[in-house]
Amino acid sequence: MSAPLLTVENLSRHFGGVRAVNDVSFAVEAGAITGLIGPNGAGKTTTFNLISGLLPPTSGTVRLDGGMLTGLRPDRVAAQGVARTFQGIRIFPALTVAQNLRTAVLAGMRLGFWEDLLNLPAAQRAEAAATRAVTVLLCDIGLEDRADDIANSLSYAHQSLLGIGLALAVRPRLLLLDEPFAGMNPSETQQAARMVTRIRDSGITVVLVEHDMPAVMGVCDHIVVLDQGSKIADGTPAEIRSDRRVIEAYLGTDDDA
Amino acid sequence: MRTLGVLLAILLIAVPPFMAEYHVYLLSLTLLWGIFALSMGLVLGFIGEINFGQAAFVAIAAYASSLLRLKLGFSFWSAAPVALALVVGLAALVGLITLRLRGPFFALVTLGFGEIVRLIITNWQDLTNGPLGLRPIAPPESLFGLRFDSKLGFYYLVFATLCVSLAALARLIRARTGRMMIAVREDEVLAGFVGIPVLRHKVIGLCFSALVAGLGGLLIGPFLTLLAPGQFDLFASVDMVVMVVVGGVGTLAGPLIGAVFLVFMPEALSFARELRPVMMGGLLIIVTIFLPGGVIGLLRHGLTRLSSAGRGRLAVLR
Amino acid sequence: MLAQQLTNGLVLGSIYALASLGFTLIYGAARVVNFAYGEMLMLGAFVTLMVMNGLGLEFFLALPLAMAVMAAASVAIYLVIVRPVIRRTELQVLLVTTGLLYVLHDMAVTIWGTDPRQMDMGLDGVLEIGDVIVPYQRLVVVVTMLALVGGLYFMLYHLRVGKALRAVAQNRFGAQAIGLNVDRVVSFAFAVSGALACAAGALLGALYAVDPGMGSAPMLKSFVIVIFGGLGSVPGAIVGGLVIGLTETLTGSYISYGFKDVFTFLLMIGMLLLRPQGLLGARRS
Ligand SMILES: Nc1ncnc2c1ncn2[C@@H]1O[C@H](COP(=O)(O)OP(=O)(O)O)[C@@H](O)[C@H]1O
Ligand SMILES: [Mg+2]
C-alpha cells in the first residue's frame, strides 16, 4: 500500500451542542475514488468544509501528502492542489460558462501584479494559455456548445458539470465532489459517473460524497461511512454492502430525499 | 460604444474653447464629479460595497496636497504623489480592517471614518484653519509649458485626469486582477475555492478607487480655490453613490452618465434646486428597485426588457 | 467630580443605547441595515411634537400615540422600499435605505424648516445625591430606557411573536421550515424598531432640541455602539451604549472634548480587530 494522499486524523467540529463531525479519521489513497457516504445530516458536507478550509475544526488535523492543510485559507488550500464542488451547486451565475472556467484557470496562474496590469508579454502568454486550458476543460465536462451561455441559464445537470469544471480548472491533485449526482436523471448520472472515473484515470484522486448508496457503489474503489458525525465503517464496496451497522444506519433513516 | 466614446472625447477637446467661461466651469464640475463617481463605481460595482467614506479620501488628498503647498512650499506636482500615497495607504488600512469581515461592516465603518476625518479637519485648527477653511489655493503651476491658471486650462487638466482614470480602470477590469475582483463580487466563497485570495482583491479594488478619488481630490482645491470641511460630508459620498446607481452599477460608463445627469442637467437647466436632495434620494430608491441596471441597463436591454430587468438580476451588468 | 462624570456618562450611555436598540433589532431579525434610522429618530421627535401641539397633550401622553404612528410608518417603509429588494443583494438594501435617509431628511427640512424647536417634557428640577447632580429630565430618560428594554425583553422571551422574532433572527430558513411567516415577523420587527426610534428621538428632542439635523449624530453613535456591542444583539446595544457613553464623557472631560468621537471610533476599530463579532455578538458562520 502506498502512502495516502489525504490523511484525516481525529477530526471534530461541533456547532453548539451538535457534534456535526466527531473524532473522524480516515485516509484517502492516491489515484482512487473514495466514497464518503452516510444519511442526511451525517456530517459529510461538514467534513468537506473542514478539509477545504471553509471552517476551522474544533479539533483534529487534515494533511495532504504529509503537509498540514488545517488552518489554511481556502485559496491556500486550492493552491496546495485541493479543489471542491458544493452541494446544491456553486458557480459564478452571471458569467458565461467560458468566463467561469477562465476565471478559475487564471486564478491558478503565476503572474506578477504589474505584469498583469500593464499587459506585459507575460500577461499575454498567460491569457493565451488560459484560452487553451478553457477549451480543454469545456471538452472535459462536455459543455463545448454551451461556452457562451450565461451559467445561470444552464440546466441543473449542466450547472453541476460546470461546478466540476471549475474545480478541475484549479488543476487539483485531490478533488472533493459533494453530491455531484443530485438532481440528475439516471442517464445524466451515468454520464457524470463515467466522467468521474475518467477524472480518476487522468491521475486525480477523488473523494465523492453521496447519500444515495447504489449510485456510488459502482464508482468507488473505497468507501467511508459516516453516521451522526462518527465513522461507522471503512472498506471496499463489497465490505460496506454487508456491514451490519451500515445497513442499520440506512434502514433507520429511510426519509432521505 | 468605443466610436461613441472617441467622438465624445473629440467634442470635449474641441468645443470648450468656444464656450462661455461659466459653461466651461460647469463642464469642469461635471467631469470632476465624473471622476468621483468613477471611483465610487469601482467600489459599488466591482467590490459590491458602499463606501460612505469616499468623500474623506477626496478630502485627505485635497487637504494633504494643499497643505504641502501652502505650508511647506511644495509645488502642485510634487505634492500630488505624496497626497496620493497617503490616501492609498489609508484605503488599504481601512480595507484590511473591514473587508475581511462578512456583513455590513465596511459601509458602517467607512461612514464613521468619513465623519472622523471631517471632525479632525474641523478641530485641528492650527493646521487646517478649521471650519473657516484653507484659502486661497492657487491653480497648479504650469508644467511642460502647459498653463492651468485659466478656466479653460484647468478644464483640460480635469479632462486629462478623467481620461487617465478611465483608462486605468478600464485596463484594471480587463486584467486578471479585475476579473478576479468580479469573481469575488459574484461569490466570494466560491472565489476562494478556485484559488483567488479574496481579501487581497477587495483591498486592491479599494486602493484603486481611493487613488482615483484622490486624483479628483488634488483638483478640487484649485478648482474651488477654497477647502472647508463642510464640502466633504456624508452627502458628498452619497451623491457619488446616486450617480453610479443611476448611470449603471458595474460599468465604467455608468458613473460618467450618472454624473452628467445629476450635475450638469439640473445646473444647466437650474430647475428645482431646493428639491435636489429629495430627487437624489428618490432616484436612488426608485432606480435600485425598478431599474438595477441604471441608464446603461436601459440602453443595453431596451425598453421592452424593462419589466423583467426590474425584477430579475441583470446578468452581466449587476 | 469623577462621580459626576460617571453619572453623566451612564445617562448619556442610556440615551445612546436607546437610540441603537431599534437599529440592531432590525439587523438581527432581517439583516437589514437601516441607514435612515437616525432620520426616523428625528421624525419621531417631530411626530411627538405635533401630537403634543395638535391634541394639546402632555409629553408622556403624546409619546405612546407618536410611537404608534412611527411603528406604522416603519412598517410602510419596510413594505414599500425594503421588501422589494430584500431577496436581492445586500448592497441594494443599503442603497434603498440610504436613499430614504436623503428623502426623510429633506422632507423634514421642507416641512418644518431648519430652526430648532423646544419640546417640553414638563419636568424640572434636579436630583442631588452628595455632590452628584442629575436633572430629573435625564433621570426620566434612564427610566424610560429601562422600561423599554424591560418591555422588549418581555416581548422577545414571553410573547409568541417575540419568540418567533428570535427564531427568525437565529435561523431564517429553519424558521420558515417550521411554518413561521417570516415576512410578518420582519414587519413586526420594523414596527417595534419604529416605535423605539420614536421614543429615542422624542427623549433626545426633549433634552436638547428638535430639528431636522438631530438624527445624524445619534445614527453615527448607533453604528459605533452596535459594532462594539455586536451587530444584531440587543444586550450588545445596551452594554455598548453604556460603554461608549462613558468613554465619551470621560475622554471628553479629561483628554479632549473636540476629539472625543475619535476615541470612541478607535474603541470600535479595536473591537473589530480583536473580536469582530462584537462584545456580545454571536459569531456568524
Ligand atoms: N454552519 C452550521 N451551523 C450549525 N449547524 C450546522 C452547520 N453546518 C452543518 N450543521 C449541522 O451539522 C450536521 C451535519 O451536517 P452536514 O455536514 O451538512 O451533513 P451531510 O452533508 O452529511 O448531510 C447537521 O446536523 C447540520 O444541521
Ligand atoms: Mg451534505
B278 with C89: Cβ contact below 8 A:
no
**Are A33 and A177 in contact, with CB atoms under 8 Å apart?**
no
Q: Specify the pLDDT at position C158.
A: 83
* Contact yes or no for C99 and B112 at CB 8 A: no
Residue C202 Cα to ligand 1 midpoint, Å, equals 46
**Residue B123 alpha carbon to ligand 1 centre in Å:** 52
DSSP code at position C78: I
DSSP string, B39-67: HHHHHHHHT----TTHHHHHHHHHHHHHH
pLDDT of residue C31: 85
A21 touches ligand 1 (CB under 6 Å) = no
Contacts of C223 in chain B (CB under 8 A): 108-109, 111-112
Is C99 in contact with B281 (Cβ distance < 8 A)? yes
What DSSP string describes B117-131?
A: HHHHHHH-HHHH-GG
Beta bridge partners of A178: A209
Q: Do A74 and B316 touch (CB under 8 A)?
A: no
Closest residue on chain A to B195 (Cα): A75
Question: B234, B202, B197, B250: which is closest to B106 by C-alpha?
Answer: B202
Q: Residue A219: its pLDDT value, please?
A: 86
Q: What is the pLDDT of residue B270?
A: 57
Residues 103-162 of B with CB under 8 A from C: 103-105, 107-109, 111-113, 115-116, 119-120, 122-123
Q: Provide the number of CB pairs (under 8 Å) joining chain A to chain B.
A: 95
Range(s) of the domain holding residue C171: 11-215
Specify the pLDDT at position B1: 66
Copy the grid coordinates of residue A97.
460558462
How much of chain A exceeds pLDDT 70, in percent?
Answer: 96
Maximal CA-CA distance, chain A? 63
Q: Cell match 432606480: residue? A: B287
Chain A residues in contact with B197 by the CB 8 A cut-off are 73, 75
Sign of the CA dihedral with B270 first, then B272, B277, and B278 last: negative
Contact C225, C241 (CB under 8 A): yes
Q: How far is the CA of A23 from the centre of ligand 1 (A)?
A: 15
Domains and CATH numbers, chain B: 9-317 (1.10.3470)
Is C73 part of a structural domain of the chain?
yes
Rounded Cα distance, B31 and B43, in Å: 19
Of B97, B123, B281, the CB nearest to C101: B281
What is the domain partition of chain A in residue ranges?
1-81+172-257, 91-171
User: Which chain B positions have a beta carbon within 8 Å of A111's beta carbon?
Assistant: 176
Higher per-residue confidence, A208 vs B225: A208
Specify the number of domains making up chain C. 1
- C134 within some domain: yes
> Using CB atoms, which residue from C85, C103, C258 is nearest to B288?
C85
Mean pLDDT for A62-68 is: 87
* B258: nearest Cα among B273, B270, B246: B246
Atom nearest to A49 CA in ligand 1? 17
Q: For every one of its 318 residues, what pLDDT tens digit does chain B have, with 9 covering 90 and above?
A: 678 778 888 787 777 777 787 788 888 988 999 999 999 999 998 888 888 889 999 999 999 999 998 888 888 888 899 999 999 999 999 999 888 887 788 888 888 888 888 888 888 878 788 777 778 877 887 778 777 777 788 899 999 999 999 999 999 999 999 999 999 998 989 999 999 999 999 999 999 999 999 999 999 988 888 888 878 877 788 888 888 988 888 888 889 988 888 876 666 555 566 667 777 888 889 888 888 887 888 877 765 444 444 443 433 333
Place of cell 424598531: C193
| A9-57 pLDDT per residue, tens | 999 998 877 888 989 999 998 889 999 988 888 899 999 999 998 889 9
CATH architecture of residue range(s) A1-81+172-257: 3-Layer(aba) Sandwich (3.40)
Report the nearest atom of ligand 1 relative to the CA of A55.
1
- Per-residue buried b or exposed e for B289-312, using 16+ beta carbons within 10 Å of the residue's own CB: bebbbbbbbbebbeeeeeeebbee
Q: Is any ligand 1 atom within 6 A of the Cβ of residue A44?
A: yes
- Structural domain includes residue C272: no
What whole-number distance in Å separates Cα of residue B108 and Cα of residue C24?
13
Amino acid residing at C87: R
Cα separations in angstroms, B25 against A179, A231, B17, B230, C179 = 62, 74, 12, 21, 61
**Interface contact flag, C272 B105, Cβ < 8 Å:** yes
Is position C122 within any domain?
Answer: yes
Query: Which residues on adjacent β-strands are paired with residue A13?
Result: A21
Is C265 a domain residue?
Answer: no
- As a whole number of angstroms, the distance between CA C254 and CA C3 comes to 13
pLDDT at A252: 58
* pLDDT computed for residue A113 by the predictor: 87
Assess: ipTM above 0.90: no
Q: Which atom of ligand 1 is nearest to the CA of A44?
A: 22
pTM of structure: 0.87
Give the helix/strand (H/E) hosting A44. helix A44-52
Contacts by residues C158-161 (CB-CB < 8 Å, ≥ 24 positions apart): C161/C185, C161/C188
Query: Mean pLDDT over all residues of chain A?
Result: 87
pLDDT at B269: 52
C96, C258, C273 ranked by CB distance to B289: nearest: C96
**From the CA of B144, how many Å to the nearest CA of chain C?**
43
CB C29 within 8 A of CB C264: no
> For each of chain C's 285 residues, which pLDDT tens digit applies?
778 888 888 888 888 888 899 998 888 888 888 999 999 999 999 999 999 998 888 888 899 999 999 999 999 999 999 988 888 888 888 899 989 998 998 889 888 888 888 888 777 777 777 777 778 888 888 888 889 888 888 888 888 888 888 888 877 777 777 777 888 888 999 999 999 999 999 998 988 889 998 888 888 888 889 888 888 888 888 888 888 888 888 887 787 777 778 888 888 888 888 887 878 877 554
C97 in any annotated domain: yes
User: Which chain A positions have a beta carbon within 8 Å of B313's beta carbon?
Assistant: 93-94
Task: Pick the residue of B185, B193, B251 with the most A CBs within 10 A to test the interface with A by mutation.
Answer: B193
CA A20 – ligand 1 centroid, Å: 6
In DSSP notation, A72-123 reads --HHHHHHTTEEE--TT----TTSBHHHHHHHHHHHTS---HHHHHTT-HHH
The DSSP secondary structure of C201-250, one letter per residue, reads HHHHHHHS-B-TTTTHHHHHHHHHHHHHH-TT-HHHHHHHHHHHHHHHHH
pLDDT at A224 over 80: yes
Nearest atom in ligand 1 to A42's CA:
22
